[in-house]
Structure 1
Amino acid sequence: MNIEKIHYRIEAQSLNAHLFHITCTVLRPAATGQKFSLPAWLPGSYMIRNFAKHVIEFSAESEGCPVAVSRTDKNTWFCAPCEGVLKVYYTVYAHELCVRGAWLDKQRAFFNASCVFMQVAGQADEACAVTLVAPDDPECGNWRVATSLSRHSQTNNSAPLYGFGDYRADNYAELIDHPVEMSAFTLVSFEVAGVPHDLVISGRQRANLQRLQRDIQTVCEGHVALFGELPEMERYVFLVLAVDDAYGGLEHRNSCALICKHGDLMPDDHAAPDKDYQRFLGLCSHEYFHLWHVKRIKPTAFIQPDLSKEVYTRQLWVFEGITAYYDDLNLLRTGLISLKDYLGLLAQTITRHYQMPGRTHQSLADSSFEAWTKLYLKSENTPNATISYYLKGALLAFALDMRLRRDTQGKVSLDTLMQASWKSYGKTGEGVPEEGFEKLAATLSGIKLEDFFQTYLYGKKELPLADLFADLAIQCQFRPAHSLNDKGGLLTEDTVSKQASPYASLGIRLKPNKKQVVIATVFTGEAAQQAGLAAGDHIIALDAWKVNALNLDKRLKSYQPGDVLSVHFFRRNELLHVQLTLQAPSADICLLTLETAATAACLSRLNTWREKLITA
């Protein structure tokens, strides 16, 4: 029987105080002293989080005798040399309600292993065992365990399916890529390509489980059809937390952690998906696509990343932007949403990108490289200075797809490029070098793409969206916003009749607030900035009329561009006043329209793109 040289035991020290207690046993500690450290970040989320800040106590012993411990840096503890087995004990505070952290109370426990399991220096490649201990509290008596971590088969405490007990991982990298949910969760199971899949839902909810199971299974099957196979794995797990108001996800090797609103999980049995349910299905689609793309096809820099500091690549647009392109496209291709619904979602993506003045200041490649300090560390000036590699990355993926299809007469597409990437990198475990994806696209298609990437990836020129959509019998146009919440979408005869007149713009973005008008961003060169307003200002009156988040749009519609307003606002509790000259809003709202008199060739390209996968 194989005995792992490293063993972790995690249990609830205090449910009410949100404290996990962890014991790490090392059979063969380093002779010169053993270091332990927690990661500063976790794969899939490119921000320094310093998980060690949640460690409260740390001690060590060997053969019943205390071992001296010292701190060497913010993430690392050093245990003095010892003769026998080394045991370390530490406590972790777990009260971060998100997909990237750890949580513990009487309702549920959840953790990313990066938050709780320390790496044993010099032994990252060693197999390890993990014991999950059930809370000693009668209120948790109906808790189960959901994780894609492998159950141990060679101990006396082997965990049953969905049970507490012993699990294992082949190395530290594998250990921290399997989050764990422990609660009285709702469970739905199904198979995709012969592999068990679990949909695990925690939190108070009244989910339509039958509809969810059917639709998520369809989502998974769509991506399997694209790549041609599932990666080798025991099972896949969707870990979903339903809360009052949140949204997000994080991919893992054989699972994903998702957070959504209660209402996102309540679709009607037979009705078309509403906007909330579309968004949830898109989130599931996005994270499941990562099963291939970023968890196995990954940049060279992420093959063995140093989790103590930032790791840089200019390829995040490849791994997040292309994934963002395929998440909703997969819903269209599998019939979960209509073409009109898809075009509405795509138009909103374009609108969000065009509403970022930073698109003239930052390239897509630089957006990827600077994710650590800009995209994940947002400020009030972020929209003015940066772009999102999710948004422009998805649009560049669309542009590349259309370019490949057009210049190869439909023989090569982004579909075939993804399949080739899976064979060249995903199945071999070889990392994608910088510019490797671009070179693979050129090699596979036989097209010279240097100018394309230099212009739109490394440069800041706008993508030729109107021309690209025209080839698909879709008209792409832009107009000024008609309200502060105008997101764009599909233009139909019905929506044309409901079009409002453009409003005079303050040139601001508001903080989410149902009552107060508080500025989140002042856009470069626009009315508010020229008048001297700033992020954080609380506007209370326009021309001596009280305004709030509910009536601001209506008040602005009574003015025209060029009108001068008297604006009263609070800044750091001081009442101030400025004169502001309203401007016409920029034409940054995207509307997509299906052409009614399209050519047969355009309709053929549209149908091929929306319905068929071009296989390699």
Structure 2
Amino acid sequence: MTATVRYALRPLRPEAHLFEATVTVDAPDPAGQRFTLPAWIPGSYLIRDFARQIVAIRAEAGGRPVALTQLSKHEWLAEPCRKALTVTVEVYAYDLSVRGAYLDTARGFFNGTSVFLRVEGQEGRPCSVDILPPDGKAYADWCVATSLTPLDVRKKTGFGRYGAADYDELIDHPVELGEFERVTFKACGVPHEIVVSGRHKGDLKRLARDARKICEYQIRLFGEPAPFARYVFLLYVGGDIYGGLEHRASTALVASRDDLPAKGDKTISDGYLQLLGLFSHEYFHSWNVKRIKPAAFAPYDLSAENYTRLLWAFEGVTSYYDDLTLVRAGLIDAERYLALLAKTITAVERGAGRHRQTLEESSFTAWNKYYRQDENSPNAIVSYYAKGALAALALDLTIRERTGGERSLDDVMRALWAKWLADGKGLAEDEWERVATEVAGVELADFFAAALRSTADLPLAELLKAQGVSLVFDAAASASDKGGLAGSARPGKPRAVLGARTAADPAGVRLTHVLDGGAAQAAGLAGGDVLVAIDRLKAADVDRQLARFEPGDTVTVHYFRRDELSSAKLVLGAAPRDTARLALSGDARWLQHP
């Protein structure tokens, strides 16, 4: 591979969280070369302005400084020069999430969108990147893990030169640096790696065995061969963290160290189940959004928002298949899956926003609503992840019902994959529905109109009943009751509730969200208020403190709004019947491996 754009990256000062990244252009624009840094990263739909973390930038050619003029918050123009032009940036990296860059004396991690300047006009040319180790004996055991194509790297550590076909590929392979553990396996003949950094005592061999089942199921769902020659899971484990971001041949993940399976434990804890679901979700994206994608993302414009009404189909459908994969791959049984499904149904049911925002609207406004949530969000928006997953379930069961079991959502996904393999084009805004209708061979216009463009509740009870699964709603037994299997909570008298979501606060109990139509809203309380007393007793455990009250009772609450102390009389409400219970009474055929 002949590179015409050459990059280099090194941890400059780990103790100060500074990376140094350079880009060298052999043939800069004779009128002056423009450089930009992405404003967002694909898969996370929020303008993040990565350029704000650049703390220094300079340019040179032929050993002499070249003037740079900043054109906008993320654009620079170099003065005309005839020789190879090198621009160097120093980037502050202390974002522990999967979206940015992180560096300290223990580890490093970066996405290319945070560190690699784009050479305007030459973004389609081949790139090379030299990944260099930090200076000092303290880093002698550091290694590199990435899905980038190695060109000339040290076999033991992985430091050295990597290649990419173009800028778009360069920024789609995150990189982990440091001392980490690595476990490998093959899925359908394709090499896979799980790289785990962070302190832990987990059983990585078991994680690899279980991940292999996930990967093989999904590869076979779409059809071999897999769309990559090698795949890497980059997992950082720490305290109370969780998240993932998909890439074309890898994923970056963060999770609690306690979610890893313990050595010798053959059960699947709730934490480990959540981790397996995260692996499944991001891996499914290898097909659904990294290849099959909206036309609005083909290509990405990383300088501004890219609007589409199809995020429900890419995040929601993926959220449906992540847990479905676990049961079809034999990792959990049908009842464990139904318990997970009940929690998703409950999460959607508890948001009044589902009656205000459609799935298409949720997708389109992700940039300023879903990714910028506040204390009123449950009342105003619906999640294209959670309700999108339920819409995918409803569509799957609807297709099965209307075709007598001859077709399913699996067939739709395979058809979308075949289309991408044939033309590599993004989907027009109405094309996903057209493909689904053609594959099913039955009319689905009524379904899509109701599920995507109205705020009507999905007909899940009727659809699940046809599969031998009953769905009922009852009141939550406690604030921690998120739904589950029928009989998982003891019935009792109606609970008295505030009509608000809460969190612990050093001064008492903070109201994170005040729900539409609830007691707290009627009394004038607001999100962010801190309850300090309930019925003249210190606010601490709301469930316990309200246990001896009945719905309709009046209590006095004292609270701080900012630095002002106020009080209000609050008429307690009854816990709403918004908690899903599922029971298996038939064969639930759709859960079985096809």
Please classify the TM superposition score into its range, dividing by the shorter chain length. Answer: over 0.9
Separation (CA, whole Å) in 1 of partners of 2:225 and 2:50: 32
Decide whether aligned partners of structure 1 residues 418 and 269 sit closer, same or farther in structure 2, where only a CA change above 3 A counts. farther
1:610 aligns with 2:591: yes
Specify the SS of the correspondent of 2:251.
strand
- Does the CA-based 8 Å contact 2:477-2:495 persist in structure 1? yes
Distance between the aligned counterparts of 1:428 and 1:267, measured in 2?
45
Q: Is the 2:507–2:532 contact (alpha carbons within 8 Å) kept by the matching residues of 1?
A: no
Give, in whole Å, the separation in 1 of the partners of 2:505 and 2:539. 13
Unaligned runs of 5+ in 2: none
Contact between 1:199 and 1:240, CA under 8 Å: does it hold in 2? yes
CA distance in 1: counterparts of 2:205 and 2:493, whole angstroms: 44
Q: Which residue of 1 aligns with 2:132?
A: 133
Q: Deviations over 1:182-218 (max 9, x none)?
A: 1111000011111110000000011111211110111
Distance 1:527 1:447 in 2: 46
What secondary structure sits across from 2:86 in the alignment?
strand
1:291 aligns with 2:291: no
**1:100 counterpart residue number:** 99
**Taking structure 1 as reference, are residues 500 and 269 closer, same or farther at Cα in structure 2, changes over 3 Å only?**
farther
How far 1:269 sits from its partner (Å)?
3.8
Find the counterpart in structure 1 of residue 43 from structure 2. 44
C-alpha separation in 1, matches of 2:408 and 2:507: 48
**Rounded Cα–Cα distance in structure 2 between residues aligned with 1:169 and 1:149:** 7
Per-residue deviation, 1:455 = 1.1
Structure 2 counterpart of 1:522, one-letter code? V
- Does the 8 A contact of 2:190 with 2:226 survive in 1? no
Deviations 1:67-96 (A, max 9, x none): 111100001111010011111111000011
Asked if the contact 1:267–1:273 (Cα under 8 Å) also holds between the matched residues in 2, the reply is no
Instruction: Encode CA deviations 1:490-533: one digit per residue, 9 max, x unaligned.
Output: 114xx36x334331111101136598310111111211011011
Q: Which of the residues 556, 579, 587 maps onto 1:566?
A: 556
1:121 counterpart residue number? 120
Indicate if the aligned counterparts of 1:207 and 1:265 stay in contact, CA closer than 8 A.
yes
CA contact (8 A) 2:219 2:226 kept: no
**Matched residues, number:** 594
Deviations 1:126-153 (A, max 9, x none): 111000001112121111110000011x
Amino acid at match of 1:71: Q
- 2:411 counterpart residue number: 416
The aligned amino acid for 2:188 is: A
Q: Is the 8 A contact 1:211 1:269 kept in 2?
A: no
Alignment match, 2:61: 62
Bigger drift between 318-327 and 475-484 goes to 475-484
Alignment-derived partner of residue 503 in structure 2: 511
| 1:584 matched to 2:581 | no
Deviations 1:435-467 (A, max 9, x none): 211111111111111111111111111001110
For the residues of structure 2 that align with 1:94 and 1:428, how far apart are their CA atoms? 39
CA distance in structure 1 between the partners assigned to 2:195 and 2:153 by the alignment: 22
Report the equivalent of 1:254.
249
Check whether the contact 1:298–1:426 (CA below 8 A) recurs between aligned residues.
Answer: no
Q: 1: CA distance between counterparts of 2:347 and 2:504?
A: 16
The one-letter amino acid paired with 2:148 is: L
Equivalent pair of 2:227/2:286 in contact (CA under 8 Å): no
**Secondary structure of the equivalent of 1:591?**
strand
1:263 aligns with 2:258: yes
Q: Distance in 2 between matches of 1:566 and 1:426?
A: 64
- Cα–Cα, structure 1 residues 19 and 535, in superposed 2: closer, same or farther, change >3 Å? same
8 Å contact from structure 1 (residues 18, 93) kept in 2: yes
- Per the alignment, residue 342 of structure 1 pairs with 337
CA, structure 1 residues 162+222, in 2 after alignment: closer, same or farther (shift >3 Å)?
A: farther
1:34 Cα deviation from its structure 2 partner: 0.5
Q: Tell me whether 1:526 sits opposite 2:518 in the alignment.
A: yes
SS in 2 for 1:239: strand
Tell me the residue number matched to 2:24: 25
- Measure the CA separation in 2 of the matches of 1:126 and 1:526: 58
DSSP-derived class of the 1:285 partner: helix
**Separation in 2, partners of 1:42, 1:49:** 8
3-state SS in 2 of match to 1:457: helix
Deviates more, 1:84-93 or 1:421-430: 421-430
Report how far residue 535 of structure 1 moved: 1.0
CA offsets 1:12-58 (integer angstroms, 9 cap, x no match): 21111000111211001001101111100010000000000000111
- Cα distance in 2 for partners of 1:357, 1:20 equals 45
Report the Cα distance in structure 2 between the residues aligned to 1:148 and 1:341, rounded to whole angstroms: 34
Taking structure 1 as the reference length, the TM-score comes to: 0.94
TM-score (norm 2): 0.98
Deviation at 1:383, TM superposition (A): 0.6
Equivalent residue, structure 1, for 2:141: 142
In structure 1, what is the Cα distance between the partners aligned to 2:225 and 2:372? 35
Distance 2:104 2:494 in 1: 50
Q: What SS does structure 2 have at the residue aligned with 1:258?
A: strand
Partner of 2:193: 198
Q: CA deviation at 1:474?
A: 1.0
2:543 matched to which residue of 1? Answer: 553
1:612 alignment partner AA: H
1:394 lines up with 2:389 in the alignment: yes
